[in-house]
A and B are shown apart, each in its own frame.
Chain A
Amino acid sequence: MNLDSIIFIVSAAVTLFGAVMMIMQRNPVASVLYFILSLVAQAVLYVQLGALFVGAVLIIVYSGAILVLFLFVIMLLNLRGDEDLGAPSAPVSQLTKYVVSIGIVAEFAFVIWSTVFSSSISTGIIAGASENFGSTEQVARLLFGRYLYPFELTSILLLAAIVGAVVIARKENKDEIEAEAAAKATADEVTG
């Protein structure tokens, strides 16, 4: 049992613990915090593979930006996990819940089964990693060379999503805004 194995086992366990706790929480803030814990442990796994760049980007993009925005929205809505969730859903959708989750478990079991018992990877934890796997240069070469078009298309997709969100969030037209303002003014008058 060398240091590498100990670090791997600990961070893998923390990753799983964080992921499981994330979906078991009622309180959305606690969910986000467990998600961050899981991501940090995942970054450790990447670093152990020698993929320093990927590990750093995982922290910068997910923990540093996306999840902060999650927390931000939760704070703005002031969700504390004791909200009323409404009536339980119809029996049919209760059934889909079980069917889908059994399907996913079966899929994971198959993937794990076929990986563990295939001869190529069973030699060690980091045996598959090449010399500069996940290095800044290698990622850049793939991203700006071979995968340039998919990369650019992804950013257009994200841009479209942002524009869509703005369109949905903003008020439909001037009339609506004015009507709302007028309603507010009368309400103010009534309450004095």
Chain B
Amino acid sequence: MSLEFFIVTFVKIALLLFVLLTACAYSTYMERKILAYLQNRVGPSYAGPFGLLQPLADGLKLIFKEDIVPDRVERITFALAPVVSFIPAMLVFAVIPFSSEFDLFGLLPSATEGVISDLSIGVLFIFAVTSLGVYGLVLAGWSSGSKYSLLGGIRSSAQMISYEVGYGLSIVGVVLVANTLSLTEIVSLQSGSLFNWYIFKQPLGFMIYIVCGIAETNRAPFDLAEAESELVAGYHTEYSSMRFSMFFISEYANMLAVSAVAVTLFFGGWAGPFLPPIFWFLIKILAFMFVYIWLRATFPRFRYDQLMNFGWKVLFPLALFNIMLTAAWELYKNS
């Protein structure tokens, strides 16, 4: 491990964090703007041209707001919860390959891999990290000392535990086809032609993945954790100022993470013609973010028992069926 390795890795981490946090901020702008057009409104338009400075204004406003900590909270856990939900959302990007080899326009001494760490168990790392994200919600709900927060926390943790099963199993199909757990290898196996993308080999797996991914991020139509009419704002009811905005940022970072994993596993990652790889990666992620917002504008919220029944009685058996089918096909092909 040379000094060069540390510097290059540090540069990559800094760049990725900068892009990621900016992307989180502008996802909120994108969401408000697209939702507005889908509902025949204009959306944010005062701050800067086309309202482009709106995320900046929102961020500044949140920083300057008073940080209110209610009397009945468990202080340490209350302070810890936003951080706990923020870190796993960021960590996922450590193993996502975002580009082919690059040298940053000659700024780096030699070409380097377009991923922070090419783990041999990248897929498992993603499971491990996303499964930790639920603690943020649980702790926030429990430590707030408010019944709305507690109910919201219980609801969302039950939801995330249930859908994590389908989420994990839906990816097993891809791993069986690719025969590797390394995300870099999975991307390179999909390069070359459009029909190498695993969406064509694992259509059922992808459908299960995207439904579970949306449920995992607590987004509409599965946003029962923050069903306003029943629970005020769910687990983050008692949070304000920067603590609240950390939950907000981690929600968007989680959406970006689910999109990035979907792009990497099913849509060929950074592979694509003409444009530089990083652009293809961003374009594909943007397309996924658009789908997220589109779904929010289209579907009403599920009822809670429907959500649980769907997760355990439909998605779970379907995911198992997909694994058995894929495994049987691979065995047949290799014999």
Report B38-60 residues with CB < 8 Å from chain A CB: none
B77 on the A face (CB < 8 A): yes
Shortest C-beta distance, A83 to chain B (Å), equals 15
B132 on the A face (CB < 8 A): yes
Q: Give the chain B neighbours of A72 by CB distance below 8 A.
A: 138, 154, 157-158, 161
Report A49-82 residues with CB < 8 Å from chain B CB: 52-53, 56-57, 59-60, 63-65, 68-69, 71-72, 74-76, 78, 80
Shortest C-beta distance, B246 to chain A (Å), equals 18
Count of A interface residues, CB-CB < 8 Å: 25
Q: Give the chain B neighbours of A56 by CB distance below 8 A.
A: 121, 124-125, 127-128
Count of B interface residues, CB-CB < 8 Å: 27
B133's nearest neighbour on chain A, judged by CB, is: A64
Q: Give the chain A neighbours of B121 by CB distance below 8 A.
A: 52-53, 56, 136
A44 on the B face (CB < 8 A): no
Q: Mark A10-29, 1 if CB is under 8 A from B, else 0.
A: 00000000000000000001
A45 on the B face (CB < 8 A): no
Shortest C-beta distance, B178 to chain A (Å), equals 13
Shortest C-beta distance, B45 to chain A (Å), equals 43
Shortest C-beta distance, B6 to chain A (Å), equals 11
B142 on the A face (CB < 8 A): yes
Shortest C-beta distance, A107 to chain B (Å), equals 32
Contact A64 B164 (CB under 8 A): yes
Contact B138 A75 (CB under 8 A): yes
Q: Mark B15-58, 1 if CB is under 8 A from A, else 0.
A: 00000000000000000000000000000000000000000000
A40's nearest neighbour on chain B, judged by CB, is: B132
Contact A75 B154 (CB under 8 A): yes
Contact A75 B125 (CB under 8 A): no
Contact B158 A52 (CB under 8 A): no
Contact A78 B158 (CB under 8 A): no
Q: Give the chain A neighbours of B142 by CB distance below 8 A.
A: 29, 71, 74-75
B150 on the A face (CB < 8 A): yes
Contact B132 A64 (CB under 8 A): yes
Contact B161 A69 (CB under 8 A): yes
A27's nearest neighbour on chain B, judged by CB, is: B74
In whole angstroms, how far apart are the Cα atoms of A71 and B142 in the complex? 9
Contact A75 B150 (CB under 8 A): yes
Label chain A's interface by main secondary structure: helix
Shortest C-beta distance, B221 to chain A (Å), equals 23
Report B140-197 residues with CB < 8 Å from chain A CB: 141-143, 150, 153-154, 157-158, 161, 164, 181
Q: Give the chain B neighbours of A60 by CB distance below 8 A.
A: 124, 127-128, 131
Contact A68 B161 (CB under 8 A): yes
In whole angstroms, how far apart are the Cα atoms of A64 and B134 in the complex? 8
Q: Give the chain A neighbours of B1 by CB distance below 8 A.
A: 3
Q: Give the chain B neighbours of A52 by CB distance below 8 A.
A: 119-121, 124
A36 on the B face (CB < 8 A): yes
Label chain B's interface by main secondary structure: helix
B151's nearest neighbour on chain A, judged by CB, is: A75
Q: Give the chain B neighbours of A64 by CB distance below 8 A.
A: 127-128, 131-132, 134, 164
Q: Give the chain A neighbours of B127 by CB distance below 8 A.
A: 56, 60, 64
Contact B161 A65 (CB under 8 A): yes
Shortest C-beta distance, B128 to chain A (Å), equals 4
Q: Give the chain B neighbours of A76 by CB distance below 8 A.
A: 154
In whole angstroms, how far apart are the Cα atoms of A120 and B142 in the complex? 49
Q: When A56-B128, A68-B138, A69-B161 are in contact, do A136 and B154 touch as well, CB less than 8 Å? A: no
In whole angstroms, how far apart are the Cα atoms of A173 and B119 in the complex? 54
In whole angstroms, how far apart are the Cα atoms of A30 and B119 in the complex? 32
Contact of A63 among B131, B141, B157 (CB under 8 A): B131
Contact A71 B135 (CB under 8 A): yes
Shortest C-beta distance, B282 to chain A (Å), equals 28
A74's nearest neighbour on chain B, judged by CB, is: B142
Q: Give the chain A neighbours of B120 by CB distance below 8 A.
A: 52, 135-136
Q: Give the chain A neighbours of B141 by CB distance below 8 A.
A: 75
Shortest C-beta distance, B91 to chain A (Å), equals 11
Shortest C-beta distance, A55 to chain B (Å), equals 8
Contact of A57 among B124, B132, B138 (CB under 8 A): B124
Shortest C-beta distance, B127 to chain A (Å), equals 5
Which positions in A face B, CB cutoff 8 Å? 3, 29-30, 33, 36, 52-53, 56-57, 59-60, 63-65, 68-69, 71-72, 74-76, 78, 80, 135-136
CB-based closest 8 A-B pairs: A64-B131, A56-B124, A59-B128, A52-B121, A60-B128, A56-B128, A75-B142, A71-B138
Which positions in B face A, CB cutoff 8 Å? 1, 74, 77, 119-121, 124-125, 127-128, 131-132, 134-135, 138-139, 141-143, 150, 153-154, 157-158, 161, 164, 181
Additional 12 contacts, C-beta under 8 A, given A60-B131, A68-B157: A52-B120, A56-B127, A56-B128, A59-B128, A60-B127, A60-B128, A63-B128, A65-B131, A69-B161, A71-B157, A75-B150, A80-B74
